[in-house]
Amino acid sequence: MATGSNGDIPPLSTVSTRARHTIQLKDFLTPYAVTSGMNPYHPKDNPKGYINMATAVNRLMEEELETRLRKADAMQYDRQFQHYYQLFGTFQFRMALADFLSRHLCPGRTLSTENIVVLNGVASCLDALGHAICDPGDVLLTPTPVYTRIFSDFCERALVDVQPIITTQEKNQENLSFTYQPRDIENRIQELKAEGKNVKGIILVHPQNPLGDFYSKSFLLDVLQVCARHKLHVIVDEIYALSIFRDEESFVSFLALEPISPEPEKIHFVWGMTKDFGLAGFRAGVIHSTNQEVVNCLKKLSTYQCTASIVHHACAALLNDKEWCDDFFLPTNRRKLRDSYEKARSFLEEMGIEVREAKSGFFVWINLQPFLNEVTKEEELALFEDFFKQRLFVVPGSILYCANPGWFRLIFCVHPQDLEAGLEKLRSVIEVRRK
Ligand SMILES: Cc1ncc(COP(=O)(O)O)c(C=O)c1O
């Protein structure tokens, strides 16, 4: 069974084998998210509550978003919302997306609404792509450490076997850890083929979660060559593409690479309103693919995985408002992300903690190996529990399939008062261990 399985599926049950497989998959973080969510920190009202620096949410632009969404063109009620609509995305929303994504990620290229499908969140898009591209047991590769649900999103229903391309903390010539080369993909494909596996594609999270880095254009072109040689699909999750706070000009989206790639119909781009617009609750995920078979399949699946048309309407209003989006919201968001990241980073570095340099996303990726009794996964989880006892919720790297124990992911774009209090909690746990 695919990575993420807890082991054997019990034979006696009232549900299907498939359902038992879904139930058995590991979900380490949810119980902690529930506990911390029921008792959230507030400096005055609940100073003993939990600070959640684990869930990838950007709280820096909440007020700006609320103000814009309360305007009549976005959230005002209309009788048309009571009725059926094009479940794979209203024409109005797909038009807005085509224009918005072209403007920001592939200037000069006009995206077609025909190649765009909207589903209920990016996780749902990944699940649907797994269904459309793979048969049960087929393999998709992904470099690790990575967003932990990549394994479950493709595996829980589509039964895809997601296999890691393992990277380590060993630094490359540019002094960066957790990197790999296109030849590592080639080697992993050969290894899996030798085991008799059917390798169908690769999933790239770009910008990367948890590293907060993104790939160079030349690297990506080499990856596309490897994929074309092995006839692989390329699924790209660009959910953080507009949350880049450094070196923004060197980011190249797959939407811009598609026209020069050897097999454009094998590239499936995914984005959503969840991260770059902080609208996780809207459940609006987007797929762009020029592969008509894939698009036709996704359109059918939208019957089961669609979002209410009122959400399509509100999102279209935001994306079409160029002045608000392009001149105000996105640049302000980037500035706030940069400031918050730098604040967290300097705090941690002053404590003598190694921080992996980031340019994008919501994460600081830190090495806490010096504070473990032994560099093992068990000790990493013991430190995680120490943090949680102090009411600080962060993500241990092993949950993100990090090969080296002792790395942790912290979300830095929490409310500013939570950031300060959270970092202080982290300091108090580390200081005890230093002694
Ligand atoms: C890389 C990545 N992809 C997908 C998701 C899930 O997004 P959604 O909430 O739209 O399903 C996340 C959320 O953390 C993510 O980090």
Nearest CA to ligand 1 atom 14: 56
- pLDDT tens string 105-115: 999 999 999 99
User: pLDDT-based confidence at 2, cuts 50/70/90?
Assistant: very low
User: pLDDT-based confidence at 9, cuts 50/70/90?
Assistant: low
pLDDT over 80 (residue 8): no
- pLDDT tens string 18-34: 898 888 888 899 999 99
- pLDDT tens string 104-150: 999 999 999 999 999 999 999 999 999 999 999 999 999 999 999 99
Q: Cα 248 to the chain's mean position, in Å?
A: 18
pLDDT above 70 coverage of the chain, percent = 97
- Cα separation, 231 vs 85, in Å, equals 36
Identify each DSSP E strand in 80-214 by its residue range: 116-119, 139-144, 161-166, 199-205
pLDDT over 80 (residue 187): yes
Domains in the chain and their CATH numbers? 17-63+325-434 (3.90.1150.10), 73-321 (3.40.640.10)
How high is the pLDDT of residue 12? 65
Please check whether residue 271 is in contact with residue 239, taking contact to mean a CB–CB distance below 8 angstroms: yes
- pLDDT tens string 56-92: 999 999 999 999 999 999 998 999 999 999 999 999 9
| Secondary element (H or E) of residue 377 | helix 377-389
Mean pLDDT value across residues 348-363 = 97
pLDDT over 50 (residue 5): no
CA 123 to ligand 1 center in whole angstroms: 6
For residue 307 and ligand 1, the question of a CB distance below 6 A is answered with no
Distances (CA, A) of 169 to 188, 211, 347, 434: 19, 11, 22, 22
pLDDT over 90 (residue 302): yes
- Cα separation, 290 vs 265, in Å, equals 5
For residue 287 and ligand 1, the question of a CB distance below 6 A is answered with no
- pLDDT tens string 192-213: 999 999 999 999 999 999 999 9
CA 10 to ligand 1 center in whole angstroms: 30
**Closest atom of ligand 1 to CA, residue 125:** 11
Please check whether residue 368 is in contact with residue 383, taking contact to mean a CB–CB distance below 8 angstroms: yes
For residue 212 and ligand 1, the question of a CB distance below 6 A is answered with no
For residue 121 and ligand 1, the question of a CB distance below 6 A is answered with yes
What does residue 237 show for φ and ψ, rounded to 5 degrees?
-100, 100
CA 281 to ligand 1 center in whole angstroms: 12
Nearest CA to ligand 1 atom 7: 122
Q: Best of 55, 119, 147 to mutate for ligand 1, by most ligand atoms within 8 A of CB?
A: 147
**Closest atom of ligand 1 to CA, residue 280:** 9
pLDDT over 80 (residue 346): yes
pLDDT over 80 (residue 410): yes
For residue 209 and ligand 1, the question of a CB distance below 6 A is answered with yes
- Cα separation, 107 vs 110, in Å, equals 8
DSSP 8: P
| Secondary element (H or E) of residue 425 | helix 416-434
Q: Which residues have CB under 8 Å from 189's CB, separation 6+?
A: 141, 199, 226, 230, 232
pLDDT over 70 (residue 303): yes
CA 122 to ligand 1 center in whole angstroms: 6
pLDDT over 80 (residue 290): yes
**Radius of gyration over every alpha carbon of the chain, rounded to an integer in angstroms:** 21
The full length of the chain comes to: 435
Identify each DSSP E strand in 290-356 by its residue range: 354-356
CA 269 to ligand 1 center in whole angstroms: 14
User: pLDDT-based confidence at 363, cuts 50/70/90?
Assistant: very high
For residue 285 and ligand 1, the question of a CB distance below 6 A is answered with yes
Mean of the per-residue pLDDT values for the chain? 95
User: pLDDT-based confidence at 13, cuts 50/70/90?
Assistant: confident
User: pLDDT-based confidence at 435, cuts 50/70/90?
Assistant: confident
What does residue 273 show for φ and ψ, rounded to 5 degrees?
-85, -5
Got the DSSP string for 52-79? E-SS----TTHHHHHHHHTSHHHH---G
pLDDT over 60 (residue 386): yes
**The residue to which tokens 């001149």 are assigned:** 327
Q: Best of 30, 149, 306, 399 to mutate for ligand 1, by most ligand atoms within 8 A of CB?
A: 149
- pLDDT tens string 225-275: 999 999 999 999 999 999 999 999 999 999 999 999 999 999 999 999 999
